[in-house]
C-alpha cells in the first residue's frame, strides 16, 4: 500500500516500532470494551505480522495511524476483507479502526476514514464499503455516520466469532456506503 497522508495523519503499513502501541490497543480494557478478547503480547505481535503481510500482498488492510507532526503511532484504521462468510460475501470490504484512548474525540478516525474511503472508491474501485459494530457501540456508530455510511438494518447480524459466553456483544448493526452515494456526497461538499 502506498502511504496516505491527511492534514494530521500518516496512514502506512506497520513497522517494528509499532509493536508496543499495537499490543496496547489490542489489550486495553477501554479500547476493547466491545470485543470478547484481549490479546497477549505474542498474539498482538502475530496479528500485526499477519496484517503487515496482508497489506504487502493486496495493497490495503488495517494500517498504522501516525501523527504527522510527531511520528507517534496512535492506533490503526483501514480497509480489510471482512472474512465473515456466509453472513457476508467473500469480497466484502470493511472500514474499521482502533485508537489509544488519549486520541479519542479529536476527529482523527473520521479524518483517516475520509482518506480511506477516497482510496477505496477511487484507487481500489470498490462498489461498496461496509462497517459494523456491537449495537450499542455509540462511538463507532457515530464515526460511521460522520463518514456517510448508512444503517442497513436488514443486514444486521449476530457475529459468528463472538462466543456465546458474551451474548451482549453478539448483535451487530450494519452500515454501508455505495460508491455512487460517496460520489454524490463529494459533489455536495464542493
* CATH number (domain holding residue 136): 3.40.630.30
Helix (H, G, I), strand (E, B) or coil at 69: coil
Does residue 64 register a pLDDT over 80? yes
Q: Tell me, what's the pLDDT at 189?
A: 83
Span 150-168, mean pLDDT? 96
Q: Tell me, what's the pLDDT at 1?
A: 74
Hey, which bits of the chain come out as E strands? Answer: 4-5, 9-12, 62-67, 73-81, 93-99, 128-134, 150-151, 157-158, 171-178
Residue 43: which domain range?
A: 4-189
Phi and psi at residue 38, in whole multiples of 5°? -130, 140
Does residue 50 register a pLDDT over 80? yes
DSSP one-letter code for 103: G
Q: Tell me, what's the pLDDT at 2?
A: 87
Span 61-69, mean pLDDT? 98
Q: Tell me, what's the pLDDT at 7?
A: 97
Q: Report pLDDT digits (tens) over 96-106.
A: 999 999 999 99
Q: Tell me, what's the pLDDT at 125?
A: 97
Percent of the chain with pLDDT over 90: 95
Q: Report pLDDT digits (tens) over 106-131.
A: 999 999 999 999 999 999 999 999 99
CB 177 within 8 A of CB 145: no
Q: How many residues are given for the chain?
A: 190
Those residues whose C-beta lies under 8 Å from the C-beta of residue 62, and which sit 6 or more positions away, are: 51, 55, 76, 77, 78, 80, 96
Does residue 161 register a pLDDT over 90? yes
CA dist., res. 148 & res. 142, Å (int): 10
**In whole numbers, what is the pLDDT of the chain averaged over residues?**
96
Span 63-69, mean pLDDT? 98
Q: Tell me, what's the pLDDT at 123?
A: 96
Q: How many domains does the chain have?
A: 1
Does residue 3 register a pLDDT over 80? yes
Span 128-150, mean pLDDT? 97
CB 118 within 8 A of CB 6: no
Helices 41-58 & 19-27 angle (0-180, nearest 10): 110
Q: What is the pTM of this model?
A: 0.95
Q: Tell me, what's the pLDDT at 144?
A: 98
Element (H, E) at 142: helix 138-146
∠ CA 72-146-181, nearest 5°, is 120
Amino acid at each position: 500500500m502506498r502511504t496516505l497522508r491527511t492534514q494530521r495523519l500518516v496512514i502506512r503499513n506497520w513497522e517494528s516500532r509499532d509493536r508496543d502501541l499495537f499490543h496496547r490497543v489490542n489489550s486495553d480494557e477501554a479500547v476493547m470494551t466491545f470485543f470478547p478478547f484481549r490479546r497477549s503480547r505474542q498474539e498482538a505481535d502475530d496479528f500485526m505480522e499477519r496484517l503487515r503481510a496482508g497489506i504487502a500482498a493486496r495493497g490495503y488492510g488495517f494500517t498504522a495511524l501516525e501523527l504527522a507532526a510527531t511520528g507517534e503511532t496512535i492506533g490503526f484504521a483501514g480497509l480489510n476483507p471482512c472474512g465473515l462468510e456466509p453472513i457476508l460475501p467473500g469480497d466484502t470490504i470493511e472500514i474499521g479502526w482502533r485508537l489509544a484512548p488519549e486520541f479519542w474525540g479529536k476527529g482523527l478516525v473520521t479524518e483517516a476514514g475520509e482518506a480511506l474511503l477516497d482510496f477505496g472508491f477511487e484507487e481500489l474501485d470498490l462498489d461498496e464499503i461496509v462497517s459494523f459494530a456491537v449495537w450499542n457501540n455509540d462511538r463507532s456508530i457515530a464515526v460511521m455516520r460522520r463518514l456517510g455510511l448508512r444503517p442497513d438494518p436488514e443486514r444486521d447480524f449476530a457475529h459468528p466469532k463472538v462466543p456465546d459466553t458474551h451474548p451482549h456483544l453478539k448483535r451487530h448493526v450494519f452500515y454501508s456506503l455505495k460508491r455512487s452515494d460517496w460520489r454524490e456526497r463529494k459533489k455536495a461538499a464542493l
